[in-house]
A and B are shown apart, each in its own frame.
Chain A
Amino acid sequence: MSTSTRGRLRLRILLRPRGTRAQLVVALLCGLLGFALVTQVHNSTSATSRRTARPEDLVRILDDLSSRSDRLRAEIDTLRATRDRLASGQDSGSAALAETQRRATVLGILAGTIPASGPGITITVRDPQSTVRADALLGAVEELRDAGAEALQLSGVGGPAVRLVASTALLDAPGGGVLAGSTRLRPPYRLLAIGDPATLRAAMRIPGGVVDTVAASPGADATITVSNATSVAALQALPRPRYARPAGAS
């Protein structure tokens, strides 16, 4: 019989219940041990009481916690810096976007690609004999621009209203009327201008100005009406440049 089989046999004998008083005391102690073991495990895992810990343990715990809080504070600083950087980046981005949109609006009104409305005047040119020439209308347009008109529109009989922009040409059409860009218009003409109404009207009425010039043509006259809600709705298609490209951004 080897040592290990003997050992196991003895273990089996040990496991046999014997009801002596000494055995009961041993059992009591074992039970107490189990109870204390579980209690201690429970107690140390719940870790509720710093109250009874030793001073040096408390110092160690405090050290651990303060070094941990230092680390976390450093992390907070880093993250906060990142957040500020991102937020300011976003701010400047949205400011740039707002500025770009504002600029697009201004340029759109100037180029005639978006409708405009506001205070302004309407000049109606009646010309039954078709004697008003294009240069009289061109003079009116230039006078209005000088007076600060921001959006201009010319309408007449025989064609759609034309938004007058920097590139719009006004020509005498063969056989009467005018060519505004590529649109032929016949009298009576209506010229809409958005700007300060008083200034615009004064510019039209100066002696020897537009009204006088039109009136000098046989049978023609010009009347001016002021409106606080002049609407310039005609649009000019934006030509796409065929050759020119923005420089700088390659």
Chain B
Amino acid sequence: MIGAAALVLGVVLGLIIQPTVPAGLEPYLPIAVVAALDALFGGLRAALDRAFDDKVFVVSFVANVLVAALIVFLGDQLGVGGQLTTAVVVVLGIRIFANAAAIRRHLFGA
């Protein structure tokens, strides 16, 4: 509940402040957002599985974001940043889909 409210609050804050992304963070922000979304869906699924743990969620959230950003950073250094970004997005997208399917099964039984 608090999490959902905080999510909405964050969206509203972002809409109000409309911050500009620092140039150095610009390639990593979209990947970080997708990674965080993955962690969020994972957490929701775990909660419905009665396997939710605050610590695990926080660690997985932060680790997801950092690893995703690190992969993209590494790719940029190696000159394959675009391809690695796509790869990360594909992998995270598949995971989000899988988690969403599990959540759907929990909520609708189908």
Assembly CA distance A19 to B2 (angstroms): 8
List the A side residues contacting B24 at CB < 8 Å: 52
A32 vs B11: C-alpha distance in the bound complex, in angstroms?
9
Q: Whole-angstrom distance between the alpha carbons of A20 and B54 in the complex?
A: 10
- Shortest Cβ distance from residue A100 to the other chain B in the assembled complex, whole angstroms: 68
Chain B residues 1 to 15 lying within 8 A of chain A, measured CB to CB, are 1-11, 13-15
Interface SS, A side:
helix
Check A39 against B29 for contact (C-beta < 8 Å): yes
With both chains docked as a complex, state the minimum distance between the C-beta of B82 and any C-beta of chain A, in angstroms.
Answer: 5
Question: CA separation between A38 and B9, bound complex, in Å?
Answer: 11
Interface size range on A against B: 35 or more
Binds B, one of A6-14, A66-74, A196-204, A236-244: A6-14
Within B34-57, which residues are at the interface with A (CB < 8 Å)? 36-37, 40, 43, 47-48, 50, 52, 54-55, 57
Task: How many A-B residue pairs have C-beta atoms within 8 angstroms? Tell me.
Answer: 139
Q: Does A78 contact B (CB under 8 A)?
A: no
Is A250 close to B, CB under 8 A?
no
Q: A3-B109, A4-B107, A54-B81 are in contact. Are A34 and B23 (CB under 8 A)?
A: no
Contact between A27 and B30, CB atoms less than 8 A apart: no
Q: How far is the CA of A27 from the CA of B2 in the complex (A)?
A: 6
Q: Are A49 and B82 in contact (CB under 8 A)?
A: no
**A247 at the binding interface (Cβ < 8 Å):** no
Given contacts A20-B54, A40-B33, A54-B27, contact A30 B47 (CB under 8 A): no
Contact A37 B1 (CB under 8 A): no
Which secondary structure dominates chain B's binding surface? helix
**Chain A residue with Cβ nearest B15:** A38
Please tell me if A104 contacts chain B, counting CB pairs below 8 Å.
no
Task: Report chain A residues within 8 Å CB of B55.
Answer: 22
In the assembled complex, the Cα of A162 lies from the Cα of B19 at a distance in Å of: 94
Q: Which of B2, B19, B105 has the most CB of A within 10 A?
A: B2
Task: Determine the distance from Cα of A4 to Cα of B106 in the docked complex, in whole angstroms.
Answer: 5
Which residue of the partner chain A has the closest CB to B57? A26
In whole angstroms, what is the CA distance A31 to B4 when docked? 8
What per-residue 1/0 map shows which CB atoms of A27-53 lie under 8 Å from chain B? 111111111111110111000110110
CB distance B13 to A35 under 8 Å?
yes
3 closest Cβ contacts across the A-B interface? A34-B10, A38-B14, A22-B54
Listed in ascending order, the chain A residues whose CB lies under 8 Å from chain B are: 2-4, 6-8, 10-11, 14-20, 22-40, 42-44, 48-49, 51-52, 54, 56-57
Instruction: Give me 9 A-to-B residue pairs in the complex whose CB atoms sit less than 8 angstroms apart, sorted by A's number.
Output: A4-B108, A23-B3, A27-B2, A31-B7, A33-B33, A34-B13, A37-B33, A39-B18, A40-B29
